[in-house]
Structure 1
Amino acid sequence: MIEELIRPEIRSFTPYNANQQPYKIKLDANESPFNLPLTVREKLSEFIKNDPQLNLYPDTDSIQLRKTISEHWDVDSEGIIVGTGSDQLIQVMTNVFIGVGDKILYPVPSFSMYRDSCLIAGGTPVKYLLNPEDGYEYSKETILEAYEKEQPKIIYICNPNNPTGNIMSVSDVIDVVKYCRKSIVVVDEAYGEFCDNTVIPYVKEYENLLVLRTFSKAYGLAGIRCGYSISCKKLASAVNLARPPYNISSLSQYIAQLILSDKEEINKNIEYLIEQREWMIGKLSNIKGVEVYKSYANFILVKVDNCNDVYNRLCEKGIFVRNFGLAPLLTGCLRISIGTNEQNSIFLDELSTICYNK
C-alpha cells in the first residue's frame, strides 16, 4: 500500500548508498585525506570549553560566516546563502523556481542531484550530453541550442564536472550566461579550488548567474556539511525564500569560519593534491588496459578493462574507489579520489598487479 502512495516519478529513485564497510584506503568519495589543521582544532577546543551555547538555536542567517566568505571572495555578503552542503542549496533553489512542467537543463554524466531535485519538485529535467568520445568536453553550442529549444528555467554547469573532471572555460560559461538571459545559470564549483577557473567575479555583473561552492572537498570538512552559493543580492533573496530555518549548526558555522581564517595549511594541502593528481595521471597512463581522462579536480576518471572484476578485487584488498559500472556514458569507468602519496602508491601497486595478472 505504501508504494502506491509514492509519487510515480520518485518510485524509481535509489537512495544514496555510501560504502560503509571496513576499509584500508578510501578513495571513493572525493574527500580530503587531511584532517583539520592543528591550530584550527585548538581554537575549536577552546570554543567548546568556553561554552558554545549549544542549548540555543544557531544563527539562522549565518551572518558571521557569510561575512567571512564575502571577505574571502570580495563579494557582497547579501548575495551569499549558506546551506547544509551545496546539495541542499540545489534543492532549495529548485523548490523556488521549478514547478510542474518547468524545465531544467543539466549535463550527463554529472551530479545526480540536478535531475533528482527537479523531479522531486515536479519539474521536467532535460539533459545535454558530455560525450566520452570527445573526452567529456563541454560544448557551448550544445547548451545554447538546448536553451533555444527547451527554454529551461535553470541551466546547470558542473565545473569541474563530477565524475569526469573536465572544465568549461570561463569565457564559454559567461557566453552561456549572457545568451541565456531568461534562465538562471548555476555553475557548480564544488571542486573549483583544484583549478584556476572560477566565474565568481562575474556575479556582480550578471543577475542570472549563481555559483555553488562547498567546504567538503578542498577544505576537508565533509563531516560538517556546509556549502554556500554566491550570486547578486536579488537572486539570493529569491533563493532564500525556501531555505529552512536554522539549517547550519553553530559548530559548523564556527569551524567554517576558522578554516577560512587559516588558509595557509589548506593551500598547501591543495597544492599537494594537485601534484599527486598529475603524478597519478602519469602512472595510470602506463598501466595496460587503463584509459585515463584529464582531470582538474581531486579525482581521476579511468576506463578499465573488466571494470567490475577490477573493482571487486580492489575491494577485497580493502581499497575503495567509485565504480560506475554500467552507468550511461560511463561504462567500464572507475573514479579514483586523490589521497596521500602513500595511499596513492598502494592503490597503484594493487591496480597494476590486478591488471597485469588477469
Structure 2
Amino acid sequence: MNSLELTIANRNQKLNLAKIEQILCSEVEANEAIRLHCNETPFDIPQNLKQQLVDKMNDLAWNRYPEFHQTKLNALVAKEAGLSSENILLGNGSSQIIQQIVNCCSKFLSEAIIENPTFTFYHQVCQNERMPYKEWNINENDSFDLSNFPQVSEPSLIILTSPNNPTGAILALSTLETLLNQYNNCVFVVDEAYGEFGGESALPLVNEYPNLLVLKTLSKGYGLPSVRFGYAAGSASLIQLLKKYAAPFTINIFTELVVSEFLTNPLYINALKANQARVKNLRDFVFYLLNEMSGETTFKVLPSAANFLMLRFFDAELLEQVKNVLSARNILVSYPIAQSLRLTIGSEVEMSKVIRIIKQVLNQYKAVSNQLEEVIIS
C-alpha cells in the first residue's frame, strides 16, 4: 500500500470511529448523573436507622457547645483502634487532619515525601504551607519499590497511602517498617482512607514506632462522607504536639452521635459490614469482567484493594471514545493521570451499565481496527 492509500485508510478509520461514537452517544441519558468519580459508596444507611438517629438528635441540646475534649468519643475511637485515648486525635474528616499535620510539621521538618500518583490534596496543602516536597514514583507494576525511594538527607514528613488512590495498590507493612527503621528522624503519615476495603492496617505499629501517624476516616468504608469525621492515631507525644495546632470544636454534636452509633450499635455495625462486603464483591467481579476484556493493545485493569478500579489505556483514541460515551450517558468517572480512567464501584445496576458500554465501545473499536488492518494488508 502506498502513502496515499494509507492516508485514505487512516482517514476512513477516523470517520468510522466518529460514526461509532455518534451511534453509541445517541442514547443520551436525561436521568440523574451516575456518580462514579468520588469514590463514594453507592449504598446509604437504611431509612429506619436514619430515623432512629434523627429521633436521638431531637433530644440533644442544640444551644450548647460540644464537649471541648470529646472525652467519650475519643475513648470509643481508641477502643475501636485498639489503642489508648492519648493516642487519638479526632478531626473533621481526614482532610482537616492532613492540613493540621502539615501545618505543624512544616515548622520543624525540612520537606515532604509524597507518592506519585496520589491524592492531590497532599500537594495542595504542602504548597499552601510552603513546604517543599519530593515524589516517590510507584513503579510500572503499581507497587511500592524501595529502590526508587527519594533521597532523604534531613528530617522530613513522609506521607504514604494504603491502599493508594488512584491505583489501589497496597503498601506492605514490611516495606513500611523498613522505612520507619531507616528514617527514624522523620515523621511518617500512613493514610488508610480505603483500609476497610483491603490490606493490613498499620495501627498495631503505632505503639512500636513513635514517629508514625495513621489516618482513618468514615468517608469511604463507612460510607459517611457527609458526616465529616476522621482521626489520627500516633504516639502520645506526637498527638499532643498536633493538638497544639487544632481548632476548637471541630466535631459537632450530630457527628458525635452518628459516629458513636456506628461504633457501638449492632444494627449500624451490621449494616456497615453488609455494605462493605457488597462493595468488595462487586469490585472483584467487575475486575474479573474488565480483565477478561483487556488486552495488550487496548487497556489493562489494575488489581485494587480499594472501592475503585483504575484502567490504563494503551490507545489514546480508545480512551477518548470511552470517555465521550460515558459522558454522553451522564456517567461521571475520573481521569487522575494520563491515559487512565478511575472507576468507583457503584451499585450492581450502575456497574452493569458501565461494563456494557465499555464492551460495546471496545468491540466496535476492534472491528474498525481489523478493517483497517485488512485494508493495509491488501
Fold conserved between structures, TM > 0.5: yes
What secondary structure is seen at the aligned counterpart in 2 of 1:146?
A: coil
Which residue is equivalent to 1:195? 198
Aligned AA (2:181): K
Pairs within 5 Å for 1:279-318:
279-288=285-294, 289-304=298-313, 305=315, 306=317, 307-318=319-330
Name the counterpart of 1:334. Answer: 341
Q: Distance in 1 between matches of 2:327 and 2:260?
A: 37
SS at match of 1:96: helix
**Against the structure 1 CA distance between its residues 60 and 37, is the aligned structure 2 distance closer, same or farther, given a 3 Å change threshold?**
farther
Partner residue in 2 for 1:91: 99
**Superposition deviation, residue 138 in structure 1:** 0.4
For residue 12 of structure 1, what is the aligned residue in structure 2? none
- Of 221, 226, 229, the residue aligned with 2:224 is 221
Q: Is the 8 A contact 1:23 1:319 kept in 2?
A: no
User: Structure 2: 5+ residue runs without aligned partners?
Assistant: 1-29, 366-378
Going from structure 1 to structure 2, the CA distance change for 1:22 and 1:341 (only over 3 Å counts) comes to closer
**Contact 2:159–2:188 under 8 Å retained in 1:** yes
- CA 55–266 in structure 1, closer or farther in 2 if over 3 Å, else same: same
Is residue 2:270 matched to residue 1:264? yes
How far the C-alpha of 1:354 sits from its partner, in A, is 2.3
Output the CA distance in 1 between the equivalents of 2:32 and 2:312.
23
Question: What is the match of residue 169 of structure 2?
Answer: 166
Aligned to 2:58: 49
TM-score (norm 2): 0.82
- The one-letter amino acid paired with 1:322 is S
Identify the residue that residue 364 of structure 2 maps to in structure 1: 357
SS at the partner of 2:357?
helix
Of residues 251, 254, 258, the one that matches 1:251 is 254
Which residue identity is paired with 1:59?
Answer: E
Runs of 4+ in 1 over 4 A off after TM superposition: none
User: Which amino acid is the alignment partner of residue 300 of structure 1?
Assistant: L
Structure 2 counterpart SS, 1:119: helix
User: Cα distance, 1:90 vs. partner?
Assistant: 0.8
| Residue type at the aligned position of 1:102 | S
What secondary structure does 1:221 align onto? coil
Cα pair distance change 1:212/1:338, threshold 3 Å: same
- Could you report, residue by residue, the CA deviation over 1:57-92 in whole angstroms, capped at 9, with x for unpaired residues? 223333222211111121011211111211111110
Q: Does 1:239 align with 2:239?
A: no
Q: What do the CA deviations read for 1:122-146 (whole angstroms, capped 9, x no partner)?
A: 1111111113x2x221023433x52
Letter in 2 for 1:344: M
Q: Please give the alpha-carbon distance, in whole angstroms, between the structure 1 residues aligned to 2:221 and 2:99.
A: 23
Q: Write the distance in 2 (CA, Å) between the matches of 1:119 and 1:233.
A: 28
Provide the C-alpha distance between the structure 2 equivalents of 1:22 and 1:95, rounded to a whole number of angstroms: 43
Which whole-Å CA distance do the structure 1 matches of 2:235 and 2:165 have between them? 26
- Match among 133, 136, 142 for residue 136 of structure 1: 142
Deviation at 1:252, TM superposition (A): 1.3
Q: Do 2:197 and 2:306's aligned partners in 1 also have CA atoms closer than 8 Å?
A: yes
Q: Is the 8 A contact 1:99 1:121 kept in 2?
A: no
Please state how far the C-alpha of 1:274 moved relative to its aligned partner: 1.1
The AA in structure 1 aligned to 2:56 is F
* 1:208-237: CA deviation from partner (whole Å, max 9, x where unpaired): 010001000010101111111111111101
CA contact (8 A) 2:89 2:239 kept: yes
Q: Distance in 2 between matches of 1:314 and 1:103?
A: 40
Q: Which whole-Å deviations, capped at 9, do the CAs of 1:187-208 have from their partners, x for residues lacking one?
A: 0000001114111011011110
Report deviation, 1:270: 1.2
Aligned-partner Cα distance in 1 for 2:123–2:158: 11
Q: C-alpha displacement at 1:302, in angstroms?
A: 0.4
- Shift of the alpha carbon at 1:101? 8.1
Q: Report the Cα distance in structure 2 between the residues aligned to 1:244 and 1:269, rounded to whole angstroms.
A: 33
- Whole-Å separation in 1 of the counterparts to 2:193 and 2:109: 28
Residue in 1 that maps onto 2:151: 146
SS of the residue corresponding to residue 254 of structure 1 reads helix
Contact 2:168 2:303 in 1 (8 A): yes
Amino acid across the alignment from 1:320: L
> Any conservation in 2 of the 1:190–1:213 contact (CA below 8 Å)?
yes
Displacement of 1:38: 4.4
Distance of 1:99 and 1:116 partners within structure 2: 17
TM-score normalized with structure 1 length: 0.86
Equivalences, count: 327
- Note if 1:106 corresponds to 2:106: no
C-alpha distance in 1 between matches for 2:83 and 2:156: 25
Q: Distance in 2 between matches of 1:101 and 1:219?
A: 33
Aligned partner of 1:27 in structure 2 is 36
Percent of residue pairs bearing the same amino acid type:
27
CA-based RMSD of the aligned residues comes to 1.9
Aligned residue for 1:81, secondary structure, equals strand
Unaligned runs of 5+ in 1: 1-20, 325-329
Q: Confirm or deny: 8 A CA contact 2:109 2:157 kept in the other structure.
A: no
